[in-house]
Structure 1
Amino acid sequence: MSITEAVVLGIVQGLGEFLPISSSAHLVLTPWFFGWPDPGLSFDVALHLGTLVAVVAYFWRDWLTLATHGLRGTRSREGRLFWYLVVATVPGGLAGMALEKYAETTFRAPGLVGLMLIFMGLILYWADHRGPRARGIWQVGWGDAFLIGFAQALAIVPGVSRSGATIAAGRFLGLDREAATRFSFLLSLPIILGAGLFSLRHIGAQDLTFPFWVGVVTSGITGFAAIAFLLRFVVTRNFNVFVWYRGILGLLTIVTALSR
């Protein structure tokens, strides 16, 4: 893998993991459009390691507070939120282990990826515009946690978007944009950590090349910037720009797939 490819894929992962545009879709489509070789599972681990560093760097204080209160029980709002995040992690973790083979083969068909980009973009638009949503993050409950976790499990299909699915679910459940986005980002830490640990079996010392570390650094820096950007963006704006982007990319992907 060239350094250019590592940088581009690192940027794609960092942006796509946290913006509601699907990092997995972009990691499928970028090499496909440019005719690059498949980066392989070892580089996929590098990219997830970078985004893990990004979310830990941004939210480590939040998670430290939540975990400290959570281990004492559910009396405090921080303790309850910790366990809500634990519950929400379970469906995605089970889906990842059960459907790993399909996620690496069948689900990566460009035509399917294009359809999912469009479909989930429409779902995000509907969830974001179906009425006032004013619940804050401290008003999340057990049912909310399970449903948002189930939405996260759907992101095993490239094009769905983990952040897009969980933010849309949060909006459907009545969370305001900032609360839905923050819950989604907090929820990303355990699922990215779990996916990274689960994938470590695929790499060895020979895979720790310079492009590997370029991917880690690039995705980490870009991911941190994407988190900071979106949390500020949703305070005053809706998700329409991401819906339009998903629709255009999805249509371009489908047309290209049909013409090849």
Structure 2
Amino acid sequence: MSVIEALIFGIVQGIAEFLPISSTAHIIIAQFIFGTTFSGLSFEVILHLGSIVAVVLYFRRDCIRLVNTFFRYLSNRSPQDRPDFFFGIYIIIATIITGVLGIFLEDFFAETMKTPVFIASALAITGIFLIIIEKFHQIGNRTEKEMTFFDSVIVGLAQTLAVFPGISRSGSTLIAALLSGLNRETAVRYSFLLSIPVILGSSVLAFDDLSAGNLGTFGTLPLIVAFLASLISSWIGIVWLIQFLNKGRLIYFALYCFLLAIIVVTMLNNGTVTSVN
């Protein structure tokens, strides 16, 4: 892999990871375009690690506070720590649901999902739900203090759908949280913080691939470039999305998903570029 390719893959991963447009679909599309495949999951792990470092750094104060108040509540049951404690519980619940169901679905469907038609269909579905939440649903006003066990289950189930390429993890969790009646700020914060254990967990599951020495096939410099590009572009994506959702509308992401779906099904499915095996 060349340094330029590594840079492009890193930027694609970082920008798409936290926007509701499916980073997995974009990485697969990039592989189609370059006519290449990744040997195992090791390179994707490096890309995801860049994203997780970015979100941890951005939400470092929230992470530290949640961890401190979580264990403090276990020891003293302070009422002021109760909201953060249960917010942490809701992150754990959604993560467990996603982890268990995600492993089953990924093993069951395997590579059959990574086809142009499937990716295009999933992108279109993502776009449809973004329009539904924007045009036909009144955004709620519940904060994390009013969150319930049911909210975490719904978001966890929705996040599981991201195992399908084209279904955005951030998009599915954001949509589910908003449909549950959470306000925008809480939904966005919950979605971002929920990405930490999910991305970290998927990286841990791929540790065997890393230990097998597959990273050596990519070269040290491309790996460093891919990691840094993913980290920096992920940070930019986080900052931009938070600012955009405070001012803009989800419908623009929906239109992008529709456009990308058309490009995928017309160009890739007609054999314009080499498919991924």
TM-score category, normalised to shorter length: over 0.9
**Number of residue pairs matched by the alignment:** 259
Which residue is 1:35 aligned to?
34
2:14 is equivalent to residue 14 of structure 1: yes
Structure 1 residue 217: deviation in Å? 0.9
Contact 1:152 / 1:162 at 8 angstroms: preserved in 2? yes
Residue segments in structure 2 that go unaligned for 5+ positions in a row: 272-277
Corresponding letter in the other structure for 1:137: E
Q: Structure 1 residue 39: deviation in Å?
A: 2.6
1:19–1:226 Cα contact (<8 Å) kept: yes
Give me the whole-angstrom Cα distance separating, in 1, the residues matched to 2:269 and 2:45.
Answer: 31
User: Relative to structure 1, is the Cα distance of residues 104 and 12 closer, same or farther in structure 2, using a 3 angstrom cutoff?
Assistant: farther
Q: Is the counterpart of residue 78 in structure 1 residue 84 in structure 2?
A: yes
Is 1:244 matched up with 2:255? yes
- Structure with bigger gyration radius: 2
User: Partners of 1:257 and 1:225 in 2: how far apart?
Assistant: 29
Segment drifting more, 185-194 vs 53-62: 53-62
Runs of 5+ consecutive residues of structure 1 not aligned to the other structure:
none
Report what 2:274 is aligned to. Answer: none
Partner of 1:207: 215
Equivalent residue letter for 2:191: S
**Aligned-partner Cα distance in 1 for 2:146–2:9:** 37
Q: Does 1:158 align with 2:165?
A: yes
**TM-score scaled by structure 1?**
0.94
Deviations 1:166-202 (A, max 9, x none): 0010111112222211110010000011011111110
1:210-249 to structure 2, matched below 5 A, reads 210-249=221-260
Q: Is the 8 A contact 1:92 1:150 kept in 2?
A: yes
Give the 3 Å change call, closer, same or farther, for CA 104–17 of structure 1 in structure 2.
farther
Superposed CA offset, 1:86-114 (max 9, x none): 11111111133223335651111111001
Which of 112, 115, 118 is 1:109 aligned to?
Answer: 115
The answer (yes or no) to whether the contact 1:128–1:168 under 8 Å persists in 2 is: no
Q: Does the 8 A contact of 1:93 with 1:191 survive in 2?
A: yes
Name the CA distance, whole Å, in 1 between partners of 2:246 and 2:159: 23
Change in CA separation of 1:211 and 1:173 when aligned onto 2, cut-off 3 Å: same
| TM-score, reference length from structure 2 | 0.88
Give the deviation of 1:52 after TM superposition. 1.1
Fraction of identical pairs, as percent = 34
Cα displacement (A) at 1:69: 1.5
Give the 3 Å change call, closer, same or farther, for CA 227–251 of structure 1 in structure 2: same
The answer as to 2:192 corresponding to 1:185 is: yes
